[in-house]
Amino acid sequence: MSKHIQRVSHAHIPSQRRRGLSRITVAAMAGVLAAGSLAGCETGDAAEAEAEIGVVENEIALRKAMRETVRAGFPGVLVSVKGRDGKTRDYTAGTGDREAGSAPPENGHVRIGSNTKTFVAATVLQLVAEGSVKLDEPIDTYLPGVVEGPDYNGKKITVRNLLGHTSGLPDYTEFVDAGTDTVPSRTYTAEELLSPALRHEAAFPVGKRRQYSNTNYIVAGMLIEKVTRKPVGEAVTERVIERLDLKQTYWPEPGDTHVEKPRMEGYVAPPGGELTNATEMDPSVSGAAGMVISTPRDLNRFFAALIGGTLVPAAQLKEMRKTVESPDEEPNTVFGLGLDKITLSCGTLWGHGGDIHGYETRGGVTDDGREVTVAVNALPGAIVSEQDSLEAMTRDAIEKIEKVTHVVDTAICA
């Protein structure tokens, strides 16, 4: 749902297919490569051996980063990464089911939270390409009278403002009982999520800056429904999930609490409290801002197709990739329309990220075809150890977020 510091606040701080290979193995492989070179081995063979060394070194670094993430308090970690060699590899660490004491399943299902927003944005941009929607048209054109607040209305807020979080609409998660330390059980409609937010003043005048608000994507989901005359989940399924043949990805019905197996269980807790299984929650509290369930491999495939130009036409993808800064949000990141550009230690990554009850996901794809998704099965606010003050808890939670982003960076750059 919401991101970075906002995500922390919603946690009430404020509001194995491969075994690890040792460095001895790396050294031995290097020795084989050197000996082969001295013996006059073919250049292609030497290059292939060197590439294999690179893969092993990357795996060692990645597994270390994953272990550090578990030590930080996250029960389990899933990673799927496609490297420079074009091969996809899956990794796990920690515990995927605390009750059973079992490891996470490779490429298991998880709730992907706000990555859903990119699915929704891509659907809207398809409608723009088809001429059914205009990016710079007021939302009131399509949803007359729906967006009305004390100091704003839908006649001034455009579709672009919604997708780019520049509308100023207050975030409904501040006013709906969406606390991330409990297990949601109520089924909400889009209108029930939107209405409480619209009773409050704008966070800022429309278009003046960017501030992440889940409300924007509740409205975007309503827009899709109005234009396509289909439920937003059905429209996104047809236009994105089925089009890309993402067989392990789905948009659950409101009230459907199930997550398909194999899955990594998700856990919630108040700061410093006991972790509780929240896997089977009612996802409607996140609406079009965070409903989708997927796997790391499928999420990689989705972002690769999007950035590769096979999902949204070039002109509309260009609009999605136009970025603005937002200093109070994720560090080393600039923001487009449902798409983020993240600076890594070795280049840039296009993705989004998502937090929802019991799960946090980070990752994306590079322009040269590398892919990574990292999923953990608790939010940082659920595993904080510092509880002396609000400041200490927030700092602790941010440090735990950084553990996850370090896994992302290591998977791509090590």
DSSP letters for 116-143: HHHHHHHHHHHHHHTTS--TTSBGGGTS
pLDDT level of residue 390 (50, 70, 90 thresholds): confident
Examine the pLDDT at 33 and tell me if it is beyond 60: no
Q: What is the mean pLDDT of the chain?
A: 89
pTM summary value: 0.89
Where in the sequence numbering do the catalytic residues fall? 114
Q: Whose CA is closest to 110, among 290, 244, 270, 301?
A: 290
pLDDT of residue 55: 84
In order of 140, 143, 170, 220, 222, the CA distances from 194 in angstroms are: 15, 13, 10, 11, 10
pLDDT, tens digit, 9 for 90 and up, residues 124-153? 999 999 999 999 999 999 999 999 999 999
For the domain that residue 344 is a member of, what is the CATH number?
3.40.710.10
pLDDT tens readout for residues 253-275: 999 999 999 999 999 999 878 99
Q: Residue 388 above 60 pLDDT?
A: yes
Contact 150, 200 (CB under 8 A): yes
* pLDDT at residue 17 is higher than 80: no
Beta-carbon contacts of 391 under 8 Å, excluding residues fewer than 6 positions away, are: none
Cis amide leading into 14 (omega within 30): yes
Of 21-25, 118-122, 159-163, 216-220, the range with the lowest mean pLDDT is 21-25
* Phi and psi angles of residue 139, each rounded to the nearest 5 degrees, phi first: -65, -25
Please state the rounded mean pLDDT for residues 228-253.
98
Q: How many domains does the chain have?
A: 1
Q: What is the mean pLDDT of residues 178-198?
A: 92
Residue 276 sits at the vertex; the CA angle it makes with 270 and 278, to the nearest 5 degrees, is 105
User: Binning pLDDT at 50, 70 and 90, where does residue 45 land?
Assistant: confident
DSSP string, 158-224: BHHHHHTT-S-PPPGGGTSS--TTS-------HHHHHHHHHTS--SSSTTS-----THHHHHHHHHH
Determine the structural domain holding residue 353 and report its residue range. Answer: 4-413
**Sign of CA pseudo-dihedral 161, 319, 284, 101:** negative
Rounded CA gap, 331 and 71, in Å?
Answer: 23
pLDDT tens by residue, 46-101: 666 666 777 889 999 999 999 999 999 999 999 999 998 999 999 999 999 999 99
DSSP structural state of residue 110: E
